[in-house]
Amino acid sequence: MNMPNFYQHYCPGRIIAGYDALKKIPSLMDRLGCKTAMVVTDKGVVAAGLIKHVEAAFEGADCSIAHVFDESPPDSSNIASNKLAGLFKGYKCDLFLAVGGGSALDTAKGANIVISQKSDDLLNIQGAENIEADLLPTIAVPTTAGTGSEVTKAAVIYNEEKKVKMLFSADKLYPTMAVLDPKMSATVPPKITAATGLDALTHSIEAFINLQKNPIDDAYAVAAIELIAKYIVRATENGASDMEARFGMANAALMAGAAFSNSMVGIVHSLAHACGAVCHVPHGLANGILLPWSLEYNLPRVAEYIGQLCEPLGCEQTGSDPLEQARLTIRAIRDLEERLNGVCGLPLRLKDAGVSGDKLPMVARVAVNDGCLMYNPLEVGYEDALRVLRNAF
Amino acid sequence: MQLPNFYEHYCPAKIIAGQRSLSNLPFEMGRFGTKRALVVIEEDIYKTGFINLLEQAFTDSELNIGQVFSRKNTRVTLGGAREIADLFRRSDCDCLIALGGGEAMDAVKSAAILIGANSGELPSEERFSMTLPKIFAVPAAYAPGYPVTNLVELFDEGKKKSRYFFSDDLIARLVVLDPRLTLKTSASNRVAYAMDALARSVEAIMEPEVNPIVLIYARAAIGLVVKNLESALEEGKRERQADQALANASLYAGIAFSHASRGLIAATAQGLNCITGMQTGIASSILLPHGFEMFSEKYGSQIGEAAGAFTSKRLSATESGVAAVRASLEALQGVSPLPKRLHEAGIIESELERVAEAVRETPFYCESFFNSQDVAVLLEKAF
Amino acid sequence: MLELTRFEKTMISARKFPVWRRMETKAKRVYLAMALRTFGAAFEAVTASSKECENELSQWEEGRRFALGVEPSGPYITLEKKGRKIRMIGTGLKEPVLSIVFKNLDSAMMVYTTYMGVVQATAENRAVIRGDNGKAMEVIRVLEIIMTYLLPGFILRKNFRTAPTLSAPQYLVMLRIYVSLVPSLVKTFF
């Protein structure tokens, strides 16, 4: 374990995880001194009946849910955030209870910024990346195991006026608490389970190999990888009943989130963001497809680190040659993805995920402007990005 | 990694470690909305001039240091804490910085409780609910585990006994590990704290139903100690890096231990410290191999899980995991210059009974996990 | 036993005196202000001559204003895209849409004395970006081109992930840049 010259690690949210963790929410609210929660979610979560689990937890409690806001769009937007902020004030709530994937939480974060900055419109506070004012408490209940956004400090909000994504990133944006309950992800369909699981795998692997790596994020990442290797296939195959696998994946996603929130991500994410922006490939899926190819790109610089991941991925460590070891790791990731492909038909190539070949140059051009590249172990130019994309096509 | 059915984890400390990290302190403090700090520093640290580095960092900042309180290296007492709390109010500060080792940290924590209570009196409950002023920590004497525990021990002169308090507000919001500040630690102290970190991590792992985040911190701490202890003792270029690694390990162990704070070794080391004044690090170092043997049978599977942190080889069977850890501990004992037995460290046999009694008073003692019989056996084995 | 170096010890004892502390801070500010102005001049000179910069800048919107500097109280410089090149508007923050600032003087010193590269400084969280991240990436790429022309090879090899190498025609451009840097410097400093 090498010490970096300098690093920071921060994960200030309280983590509450367990098979009936939802039941703890009222007592957690009590500890925060809160009485009235605004549930922030989306239509899919409501349709899956998950809000009923949350409502059941409030039976007989001192605190209550004032309103269920189910209008979080797939890409949370300034309009949704502003509307939520208005409702929050109208219902006199004192806590955001975000139930869903990353976008529900982002919408809640956006509304929280609006309220704490005493504004009506998120666009007025554009560029205020360093949010100084204290925010209202937020409890995050993830329903997919992947983004890790329950322990990250970023919020991506789509600006409907200018048609661009705004990035807010500040220490104050860490959710106050994260509640992991396996039954909240039990209804996720196999393909999405696999894709989001690979998203978490990518978070941990990128955190482990990139420039900001440090001993504690490494340990988080390794733990996450161990859990993913153990549970991802089980959760995909038998997700409705295998609660142990669901719980394992939920924990893995959180650990991966904690790791990459500090160590940041690299080339895989910048390419996946671009694939999402240009060709609307779901983020987790793009990450999964690009991961092995991107590791091959980074191989010359970080073979040693990639090799160290062999063991957590569950394959035997054989030789002492780091390059050989790293190839084994990449092989193990490919094997895992192929197994997932067999179980749920998860695409393994960009062309099967809805990317057309003529779009690749545009994807590459968008990718080189992505902030994640700052942390990649190797420099990535336009040509390099295009090469990786062509390989993965 | 085995997951328990339920767990809770909380550590609000932001770790800032590495070159010139001290210069970053005012910027990071600004994010907490604090303006004026009271610095509590130990006398011998004050003499090293590290306070000058801190003051330099504040020269180009909107924040400032309101007052510096230099205290003698003695146990934290209620009277001493009152003195700091009074100064805090008089100099109109809004946050506390502890610069130094465990005692500076305990002094700051105790003062924070008095400031929060706003009455000059300690709360009657061990676990109280009131808001305390923000605490920031700059460990300088190689005891970086203290800032991240939610516990403080202070001596109440009136009641003539140690009192313990728990609160999440006692955890430092920022922990700055600047490599310049731990360099002056002597080799034996460095080993003592590293072994302390190791003992605490091993015990955290052995705890039943361990929280997986604790396991992560414990593994990271063990990995750093095992790989760096030897080079931290050597002369040469690598030692600065190794030293910084041990300081980080100590911090991680503190985070792990504050969530899994029931341990035979920790309780016994604390008892030894209370009665004989023996440094807990040295006590932990002596007790660790014996404590490990006593519990390895019972908690073999958990140890097997974490054995990867001790060696780079992959281990599957429980048996070999324990053996690997044992071998690794023996190797570390081999390079350590610390005494290997309690009697070598100047403890006399007649003291052991009083130590065993004191162990029961410590907050790390837990009947459901081990009993006074175990304490007696451990003390006897280690003697 | 580990020890502080003699230099570190001297610095620690010198900092006992408030006067010294103020002087040290002042000296760092003065150095950084000069380094930033030189950099501003380099921005003008390099973007006027280098083909790579021209390619990069063609993607920028006209009039993009960005600042480089140090928190919390400067120094800063503000630059602007004008036509095919970048122009320095002046010192201080002049309503930039984007700023890349170091969190403290010491971190800025490490980079502006070339002790540490921009990439490492970012990786070590020593700077904050206020404004659009994508635009910041574009600025950093131009910054890297400028350093390629400005700094000697051994520093580039130390501070870059993939050390850039210059071709023969690029060396000619470099020569032209050095010549044109003189009037730019004169303009910025006087």
CATH assignment at residue C170:
3.30.1050.10
CA distance A371 to A153: 15
Return the pLDDT at A96: 92
Q: Which of C122, C130, C138 sits opposite A374 (nearest CB)?
A: C122
Q: Which of B24, B59, B184 sits opposite C25 (nearest CB)?
A: B59
CB distance A242 to A222 below 8 Å: no
Return the pLDDT at B313: 52
Which chains does chain C touch, 3 or more C-beta pairs < 8 A?
A, B
Residues of C in contact with A376 (CB under 8 A): 161
- Mean pLDDT for B183-198 is 79
The alpha-carbon gap from C85 to the nearest alpha carbon of chain B, in Å, equals 34
Residue-wise pLDDT tens digits, A1-37: 568 888 888 989 999 999 988 998 999 998 888 889 8
Residue in A with minimal Cα distance to B244: A3
A18 forms bridges with which residues in the sheet? B6
- Mean pLDDT for A82-91 is 90
CB distance B259 to B356 below 8 Å: no
Q: Does domain B187-382 have CATH number 1.20.1090.10?
A: yes
Whether B316 shows a pLDDT value over 70: the answer reads: no
Q: Give the least confident one: A53-62, B7-16, B56-65, B301-310.
A: B301-310
Q: Provide the 3-class DSSP secondary structure of residue A18.
A: strand
Contact B30 C73 (CB under 8 A): no
pLDDT band at A231 (very low <50, low <70, confident <90, very high): very high
Q: What is the DSSP string of C3-71?
A: ---HHHHHHHHHTTSHHHHHHHHHHHHHHHHHHHHHHHHHHHHHHHH-HHHHHHHHTSPTT-EEEEEET
Residues of A in contact with C120 (CB under 8 A): 5, 211
CA distance B309 to B220: 7
Query: Domain segments of chain A: what residues?
Result: 14-183, 188-392
The proportion of chain C whose per-residue pLDDT surpasses 90, expressed as a percent, equals 0
Return the pLDDT at C1: 41
pLDDT band at A387 (very low <50, low <70, confident <90, very high): very high
Q: Which of B213, B220, B241 sits opposite A15 (nearest CB)?
A: B213
Which positions in chain A have a beta carbon within 8 angstroms of at least one beta carbon in chain C?
Answer: 4-8, 127, 129-130, 167, 210-212, 301, 368-371, 373-379
Residue-wise pLDDT tens digits, B192-212: 888 888 888 888 887 777 888
Whether C165 shows a pLDDT value over 70: the answer reads: yes
Which chains does chain A touch, 3 or more C-beta pairs < 8 A?
B, C
Return the pLDDT at A247: 92
Q: Give the least confident one: A260-274, A288-302, B234-248, B262-276.
A: B234-248
Contact C72 B62 (CB under 8 A): yes
Residue-wise pLDDT tens digits, C15-61: 778 888 888 888 888 888 888 888 888 888 778 777 777 888 888 88
CATH architecture of A188-392: Up-down Bundle (1.20)
B17 forms bridges with which residues in the sheet? A7, B177
- Mean pLDDT for A269-291 is 88
| Burial tier of A222 (Cβ tally within 10 Å: 0-12, 13-18, 19+) | buried
Runs of H (alpha helix) within C71-167: 105-112, 118-123, 133-150, 153-159
- Mean pLDDT for B337-365 is 80
CATH architecture of B14-180: 3-Layer(aba) Sandwich (3.40)
Return the pLDDT at B34: 87
Q: Residue C8 falls within a domain, yes or no?
A: no
With a CB cutoff of 8 Å and minimum separation 6, the contacts of B184 are B48, C2, C3, C4
Length of chain A: 393
The alpha-carbon gap from A390 to the nearest alpha carbon of chain B, in Å, equals 36
Whether B361 shows a pLDDT value over 50: the answer reads: yes
pLDDT band at B143 (very low <50, low <70, confident <90, very high): low
Residue A92 φ/ψ region, left for φ over 0, alpha for ψ in the -120 to 50 degree band, beta for the rest: left
Residue C58 touches partner A, C-beta closer than 8 Å: no
What is chain B's mean pLDDT, rounded? 81
Q: Residue C143 falls within a domain, yes or no?
A: yes
Q: Residue C5 falls within a domain, yes or no?
A: no
Residue in A with minimal Cα distance to C162: A379
What is chain A's mean pLDDT, rounded? 87
Which positions in chain B have a beta carbon within 8 angstroms of at least one beta carbon in chain C?
Answer: 18-20, 23-24, 26-27, 30, 48-50, 52-53, 55-57, 59-62, 180, 183-187, 239-240, 243
Q: Which of A9, A21, A132 sits opposite B15 (nearest CB)?
A: A9
Residue-wise pLDDT tens digits, A264-279: 888 998 899 888 888 8
- Which structure tokens are listed for A40? 């922030």
Backbone angles phi, psi at B126, to 5 degrees: -65, -40
Whether A320 shows a pLDDT value over 80: the answer reads: no
Return the pLDDT at C3: 64
Contact C4 B60 (CB under 8 A): no
What is chain C's mean pLDDT, rounded? 80
Residue C56 touches partner A, C-beta closer than 8 Å: no
Contact C136 A6 (CB under 8 A): no
Residue-wise pLDDT tens digits, A153-201: 888 888 887 777 777 888 888 999 999 999 898 888 998 999 999 999 9
Residue-wise pLDDT tens digits, B281-298: 888 888 888 888 887 777
Length of chain B: 383
The alpha-carbon gap from B237 to the nearest alpha carbon of chain C, in Å, equals 10
Contact A226 B10 (CB under 8 A): no
Query: Domain segments of chain B: what residues?
Result: 14-180, 187-382
Return the pLDDT at A128: 47
Return the pLDDT at A198: 92
Q: Provide the 3-class DSSP secondary structure of residue A64.
A: strand
Amino acid identity of residue A339, one-letter, is R
CB distance B144 to B254 below 8 Å: yes
Residue C163 touches partner A, C-beta closer than 8 Å: no
CA distance A374 to A264: 9
- Mean pLDDT for A226-234 is 91
Contact B60 C104 (CB under 8 A): yes
Residue A124 touches partner B, C-beta closer than 8 Å: no
- Which structure tokens are listed for A335? 């094997």
Whether A150 shows a pLDDT value over 80: the answer reads: yes
Residue-wise pLDDT tens digits, B86-100: 888 888 888 899 888
Count of B-C CB contacts under 8 Å: 70
Residue-wise pLDDT tens digits, C86-109: 888 888 888 888 888 888 888 888
How many domains does chain C fold into?
A: 1
The answer to ipTM > 0.85 is yes
Q: Which of A4, A371, A379 sits opposite C137 (nearest CB)?
A: A371
Contact A17 B7 (CB under 8 A): yes
Return the pLDDT at A388: 92
Residue C8 touches partner B, C-beta closer than 8 Å: yes
Give the helix/strand (H/E) hosting A203: helix A190-209
More confident position, C12 or A136: A136
Length of chain C: 190
Return the pLDDT at A127: 52
Q: Does domain A14-183 have CATH number 1.10.10.10?
A: no
Return the pLDDT at C139: 84
CA distance B309 to B225: 10
pLDDT band at A129 (very low <50, low <70, confident <90, very high): low
Residue in A with minimal Cα distance to C136: A371
Q: Which of A7, A227, A311 sits opposite B308 (nearest CB)?
A: A311
Residue A196 φ/ψ region, left for φ over 0, alpha for ψ in the -120 to 50 degree band, beta for the rest: alpha
Return the pLDDT at A225: 93
Contact B220 A4 (CB under 8 A): no
Q: Which of C123, C131, C137 sits opposite A211 (nearest CB)?
A: C123
Q: Residue C6 falls within a domain, yes or no?
A: no
**How many beta carbons lie within 10 A of that of residue C187, not counting itself?**
13
The alpha-carbon gap from A14 to the nearest alpha carbon of chain C, in Å, equals 24
Q: Which of B30, B53, B62 sits opposite C12 (nearest CB)?
A: B53
